[in-house]
Amino acid sequence: MITQSVTLTINGQPFTAQVEPRLLLVHFLREVAGLTGTHIGCDTTSCGACTVLVNGVPAKSCTMFAVQVDGAEIRTVEGLEQNGELHPVQEGFFQEHGLQCGFCTPGMMMTAVALLGQNPDPSEDEIRRAISGNLCRCTGYVNIVKSIQYAGRKMRTAQTQPVPAAASAEGGQP
């Protein structure tokens, strides 16, 4: 078996492994690096459950070889929380009930993080277009849109305390 050395920066930490050239990035992350937050939902780049950020750009890691992105900065769902504080997108999904079974959620949130990085105040239509490559079977997208809007508000105002949710919200910290 021919292997090749791959070095990625995953969530800020360098990670090197000797892998087969055919190893998919999603399997590198899940099986080699042990980061199982990135999920697999299809084999055809259709569902987006495997979405991670590659050098800041959302990419579907189930149709990308690990060797293809040698040297890249990878950000996964595990890298969203910083110093014990949730990313505004994570907080938005919690406050606005943007997830049910949670399986599509990591990929969905990574797409949202990339969107808000480029466009801090997206319209509903812009949000829907941005997440159109991420399938969710549970939520009907309504609350996902609200979650991303919440995160946008929070990031724009850079408040430290939770901003009011659009949905009636009660109690609880994630």
15 binds another protein (CB under 8 A): no
156 binds another protein (CB under 8 A): no
Residue type, 174: P
Nearest distance from residue 11's CB to another protein, in Å? Answer: 10
Distance, CA of 80 to CA of 68 (rounded, Å): 24
Give the one residue of 90, 112, 153, 155 binding another protein; rule: CB under 8 A: 90
Per-residue binding letters, 113-132, with another protein (x by CB under 8 A): -----------x--xxx-xx
Give the one residue of 44, 83, 160, 161 binding another protein; rule: CB under 8 A: 44
Query: With CB under 8 A as the contact rule, which of the stretches 2-10, 23-31, 67-75, 149-157 interacts with another protein?
Result: 23-31
Q: In angstroms, what CA-CA distances link 59 with 65, 83, 134?
A: 11, 25, 11
Secondary structure of residue 130 in the 3-state scheme: helix
Distance, CA of 61 to CA of 75 (rounded, Å): 11
Query: With CB under 8 A as the contact rule, which of the stretches 2-10, 102-110, 113-121, 152-160 interacts with another protein?
Result: 102-110
> Between 71 and 122, whose beta carbon lies closer to another protein?
122
Distance, CA of 169 to CA of 101 (rounded, Å): 20
Assign residue 34 a region: left if phi > 0, alpha if psi is -120 to 50, beta otherwise? left
With CA atoms as reference, report the closest residue to 169 among 110, 89, 93, 86.
Answer: 93
84 binds another protein (CB under 8 A): no
> Between 129 and 156, whose beta carbon lies closer to another protein?
129
Residue owning tokens 């569902």: 47
Q: Which helix (H) or strand (E) holds 90?
A: helix 88-95
Binding site for another protein (CB under 8 A): 20, 22-23, 27, 30-31, 35-44, 46-47, 49, 76-78, 80-81, 86, 90, 93-95, 97, 99-106, 109, 124, 127-129, 131-145, 167-172, 174
